[in-house]
A and B are shown apart, each in its own frame.
Chain A
Amino acid sequence: MKALQEGLRQLARYPSAVAGLVIIAGLVGLSIYTVASMPLSEGIRLWRGSEGVWLENPKNAMPRWVNLFPGVNLPETVVLSTTASPGLKRVEALSEDLKQVSIAFAFNYPYDDFPQEVSVFLEGTYEERRPNVSLSWKTPDGREIRLGERPVRAAETYRLSQDARLQRRLGGRAPEVGLFADPGAEKPVPLKGTYSLIVEGLLFGESDDLDAKLVVYGKVHGLAGSDHRRRDIMVALLWGAPIALAFGFLAAVGSTVTTMVIAAIGVWYGRWVDGLIQRVTEVNLILPVLPILIMVGTLYSKSIWVMLGVVILLGAFSAGIKTYRAMFLQVKESPFIEAARAYGASNLRIVFRYMIPRVVPVLVPQFVVLIPTYVFLEATLAVLGLGDPVLPTWGKVLEDAYSNGALYNGYYYWVLSPSVLLMLTGLGFAMLGFALDRIFNPRLREM
């Protein structure tokens, strides 16, 4: 405990170590929050969910905070539905088996830009005849635009933005522009004020019912924006943190500890064991790591656990063995080892209780510096399309962004948010690791 306090006090003298620790604490906090607020199964369901899960999200929308910039006032998504607020629905019995349902969706539109799309989702419950529905659109200046009549099946989606006839009636303008444009202005400018969509339905049965939902897709969404499949990027940003940390940590622990143990065993037993370990290390140095991982990913399995296993396997016999070996050779000749041997300690006891603890201080900084390497390795694999097919990770957001031409199309947020998180992770661990290196290896500190 005292040693830990002393260590922390020493760390506090390095501003970069403090900054690194703060970043790491932030990432760990983010991970804990994510795991606590959204179980992994839920995260996977949301991330793998198609349009069904994300029906109410706009495509490729920017994060909401862009509206904080001066002069930017992009529309947010408006969702109004009779299932969520039944008060919007009025039912009137016209005769014994004829009912009229009137639904009025009114919303305020104070934005400087047009929405991305407008859709109406209708859901009818009927016995024999389909309900008949007519839709009309009221603008703030009192104009009324009829959107047509249609019979409704069990579930009907009316995408106004794809209605070619409506587009012709609006003078060739795309419906989401035409419906919101100020008729007085020359260039299309949205008219601010209260719009309403009136849904009137005739029902032909006693138990028949009609529900409707209006979605005016905005151009901003959430804290992180949305992607080409309407998914909230926030899901991947949140879940990316614990996955990146876990992968980086496990891979770094796995490879550094095994490397050290192997080196210690080799030095202690010497002879052919040492020789074999040295030869395996040399073979391993010739094997190109990334191509092997890519081969494993394309040919065998993309599972993150398989990758982790291969990474540890390839990392265990890394060049580090040579460094540790030199250190252990020195330790092996120390008097305390001789003392241990004199009292009859077993071979493994000497390796694990006497030799390895001596070298741990050298290992700690290396281990911390290795973590971001593996975090980026995971991202690298994901960018190549070899990320775990199920998990939402930062690298996969980057891959989606890249394969959908985010940079060409100007969706910078899509690339920036995962990159900034990756960069923070890398910097946090690297800054801490460099400071630790200077504390544990005092030769550098004098410099």
Chain B
Amino acid sequence: MQRLGVRTGAPATALARVGKYTLVRGVALFFTVVVGVYLTILVANMGGYVDQIRRASIWEMVAVGVAANPELQELSPAERRRLIEQQVKILEERMGLDRPFAVRSFMYLKNALTLDLGRAEQLTSDSGSRQVRLILLERLAPTLLLFATAQLLLFFVSVFVALFLSRRYGSTLDRAIVALAPTSAAPAWFYGVFLILIFAAALRVLPFGGMVAAPPPRELLQYALSVLRHLILPVTAIVVSAIFLTIYYWRTFFLIYSSEDYVEMAKAKGLPSSAIERRYILRPTLPTIITSFALTLITLWTGAIVLETIFNWPGLGRLLFRAIGLTDTPVIVGSVVIYAYLLAVTVFVLDIVYALVDPRVKVGAESPRS
């Protein structure tokens, strides 16, 4: 890790630099979000091709409707065709399909960026609403429940175990963790399959999937217990798939910091190890820990498509997968835009916190020279 000289300057210019830096970063990040969301809109619409599918399905729907209507049986084919065309035109206008895609894509972009998420085309929320906002909100709770439980557990357990290990470098436990780190090459859903096989299929002690028993228990306590039982396997899958690698990374990270001269100095002074940990290892590494924690929090939002599919968990990941399968563009764009905003805001806040906290980060300077 390279050490950059600490710059000293008058506080006023520093503040001005931070202000300018903040502004530049803010604009850059917003631009990034705009481009990212626009690209998503293009992909999700297949560059306009989805419109043709929509037109065809509108045409088919209207044609079937007209053919099935006994009152219209008398019409001649030409008249019937005119009627169909008329109805199709009304429907297309209602969906805005009469305008070219290039124009509409920017309207989609504006709506997405102003968080006017609009209405879904196929999907509905459990209460029957077509509002993308409501659909997403409904799925947010299960996703947050699952991923917050798993990620918080993962984060705190790994940081504390790593801190513990960094003091016992080379012990059996330490070597075991290092040896187990490669197991994280497999994603969480993969461990999920194994866990289902063992605990649901073979031993029959835990449910195969879902979030709550069917039918859901009436009593609140029973309901909570049932949800808890359904949480065990997916949470275990997420934790197992990442824990060893995460501990390994944090351990190496802490080891690098604990070999610094000032830590040796503290040891030589005879400070207790808990004080060394707190004051000399945790404090300088805090920015990194905070960053990692913040980024962990954003990933909660996306959920995990395959894990939720495997465990039949009614979360955002599975919603996104279904939305893609049905080419329900508003839902896709809605979940991507929220993710992009969250990511951008987090990065922005982190940038500022860094600029203020860490003197080694040079604010506003041109490309750093080492």
Q: Which residues of A contact B (CB under 8 A)?
A: 16, 20, 270, 274, 279, 282-288, 290-292, 294-296, 298-300, 329-330, 333, 369, 372-373, 376, 379-380, 383-384, 398, 402, 407-408, 410, 412, 415-416, 419, 422-423, 426-427, 429-431, 433-434, 443-444, 447
**CB < 8 Å: which of B32, B50, B255 contacts A299?**
B50
* Contact sample, A vs B, 23 pairs, CB 8 Å cutoff: A286-B32, A286-B33, A287-B336, A291-B320, A291-B336, A294-B320, A295-B43, A296-B43, A300-B46, A376-B190, A380-B306, A383-B310, A402-B193, A402-B310, A407-B197, A407-B200, A412-B197, A416-B197, A419-B193, A422-B186, A426-B182, A426-B185, A427-B185
Q: Which residues of B contact A (CB under 8 A)?
A: 2, 28-29, 31-33, 35-37, 39-40, 43-44, 46, 49-50, 169, 178-179, 181-187, 189-190, 193-194, 196-197, 200-202, 208, 252, 255-256, 259, 302, 305-306, 309-310, 320-321, 324-325, 327, 332, 336, 339-340, 343-344, 367-370
Q: Name the distance in Å between B91's Cβ and chain A's nearest Cβ.
A: 23
Total cross-chain contacts (CB, 8 A): 137
B contact patch SS: helix
CA distance A379 to B189 in the complex (A): 11
**CB < 8 Å: which of A274, A287, A372, A398 contacts B185?**
A372
Q: Give me the 10 closest cross-chain CB pairs, A-B, nearest first.
A: A430-B182, A426-B185, A286-B36, A430-B185, A372-B185, A407-B201, A447-B255, A286-B340, A282-B32, A431-B182
CA distance A407 to B199 in the complex (A): 11
A408–B182 CB distance below 8 A:
no
Set of chain A residues within 8 Å of B49, measured between Cβ atoms? 299
**CB < 8 Å: which of B39, B169, B321, B324 contacts A287?**
B39
Closest to B179 in A: A16
CA distance A443 to B182 in the complex (A): 19
A282–B332 CB distance below 8 A:
no
CA distance A372 to B305 in the complex (A): 19
A contact patch SS: helix
A288–B369 CB distance below 8 A:
no
Given A283-B39, A423-B190, the answer on whether A291 and B183 have CB atoms closer than 8 Å is no
CA distance A384 to B321 in the complex (A): 9
B185–A291 CB distance below 8 A:
no
Set of chain A residues within 8 Å of B44, measured between Cβ atoms? 295, 299
A443–B256 CB distance below 8 A:
yes
**CB < 8 Å: which of B252, B324, B367 contacts A294?**
B324
A384–B305 CB distance below 8 A:
yes
Set of chain B residues within 8 Å of A419, measured between Cβ atoms? 190, 193-194
A283–B36 CB distance below 8 A:
yes
